[in-house]
Amino acid sequence: MTPPRGALVLVPNTLDLGAPHAPPLDEVLAAGVLRQAAHLAHWIAEDAKTTRAFLKRVAGFVPLERPLQEIDIRELPRPVKGGRAAHVPAPLDALLTPALTGRDIGLISEAGLPAVADPGALVVACAHRLGIIVRPLAGPSSLLLALAASGLNGQSFAFVGYLPTDAAERKDRVQFLTQRSRHERQTQIAIETPYRNALLMDALVQALPPDAQLSVACGLTLPGGWCATQRVAQWRSAPPRFDDKHVPAVFLWLAN
């Protein structure tokens, strides 16, 4: 008789990346999420070290059902540079072995919701292919929090990920997305590595039309986190300060 299969549980993480001034865990994640995280003995993560740190924080509110050193944490394979992740399904099958024998597995991102702007999406796709139930838990998403706080169009929006680092390619990409935004009344959402936040902001205010609305959300859920929306012309005269080069930001714009 085939044993019942476990579930792949999508466990949300905080957005603070373990910063020392982060708010208490229970102010960001629901009690039910903490209870389920404390129950799981198998995990899939980008980084085992940061997942252990997350579980230590969980243990401060809900005792872990087994000692941390006995919890099985398996890391996602590093993507091959220039390769296509879709070409490496076999290692992902192995990561899901516990679920095939009836044990639940937690999937966690470094920040926010797993599988949203996150390589964990490949694990979720693999779980569906293997007939494993996928159970998402509610938690913070920097993209959706920024969209909600922006005042821009929340009925039609697109996450466009990272923009090109080459200046000419980035300008072309921004102009293309701006045309789409204007034609479809669609909010465009982009992110960048934190230490490049100021560079991207400067590129956006130069490439976007003066009357476009540009919103910046920085350090959401952290003390001192902020979101501001203005016309590009206003940003040009008074650009924001990104004081902490380790705090992620989300950039959103809507063209008229």
Picking from 165, 188, 166, 167, the residue whose alpha carbon sits closest to that of residue 176 is 188
Looking at residue 38, its pLDDT comes to 98
Distance CA 159, CA 176 (A): 14
Last residue of a domain, one of 110, 136, 162: 136
Same domain as 182, residue 78: no
Mean per-residue pLDDT of the chain: 92
What is the share, in percent, of the chain residues with pLDDT greater than 90?
A: 82
Residue range 151-186, pLDDT digits in tens:
999 999 999 999 999 999 999 999 999 999 999 999
Q: Which of 101, 136, 171 is the last residue of a domain?
A: 136
Q: The domain spanning residue 231 has which CATH number?
A: 3.30.950.10
Q: Which of 136, 171, 198 is the last residue of a domain?
A: 136
Which among 169, 242, 158 has a CA at the least distance from the CA of 202? 242
DSSP letter string over 145-214?
HHHHHH-S-SSSEEEEEEPPSSHHHHHHHHHHHHHHHHHHT-EEEEE--GGGHHHHHHHHHHHS-TTSEE
pLDDT bracket for residue 210 (50, 70, 90): very high
In a domain, 241, yes or no: yes
pLDDT bracket for residue 236 (50, 70, 90): very high
pLDDT of residue 2: 65
- Note down the domain range covering 89: 7-136
Describe the strand order of the beta sheet including 249-254 as a list of residue ranges. 157-162, 187-191, 249-254, 213-218, 226-231
Identify the pLDDT of residue 247. 86
Amino acid at the residue 176: F
User: Are residues 13 and 111 located together in one domain of the fold?
Assistant: yes
Are residues 244 and 224 located together in one domain of the fold?
yes
CATH number of the domain that 46 lies in? Answer: 3.40.1010.10
Lowest mean pLDDT of 34-38, 78-82, 250-254, name the range. 78-82
**Which pLDDT score is estimated for 79?**
63
